[in-house]
Structure 1
């Protein structure tokens, strides 16, 4: 069975509001927080590109009281040597010379500007 259109009437609904509303204020605040706030944060934190970067580090140096002394005695390759390592001193044989060594350590403090 077919239906026939007997009467039709278009419905036109219009909603109107002023520009100064809470919804407009909310939209402006959200847009500012979304776009302008990150730009201000990036600009205030040294800009968008690093212009100058300095990194300084002070090493910790500890003297271990270990040394090796090798001295050339001629141009033909003769040498004398001494070290604080007993096994190396045994291997040097006739080239071993025992020096008088004194050691002093000082503590330095560095300040940065």
Structure 2
């Protein structure tokens, strides 16, 4: 299942072993990155892989796509929350959050 920024605020239902891919657009040349808020007590959905690719390789400083792959490990509910911000700033310019229910 592929989830994008248009899915912000939605809830998704998975089974143990299912994977989701979250794709978020960002522009690394601005200093802004997608930073995940970690909830260490919630381990039912864990990150498997993180990668990024340029959406237009011909344009220097253009936007990129960050793809995060998560696997549902055990039954439970978890929020996945990301803040688009510069690492040295405390406030995000935008947020992305989904809820994952593993049955």
Q: TM-score, structure 1 length as denominator? A: 0.19
Which has the higher Rg, Structure 1 or Structure 2?
1
Higher share in strand: 2
Higher share in helix: 1
Higher relative contact order (CA 8 A, sep 6+): 2
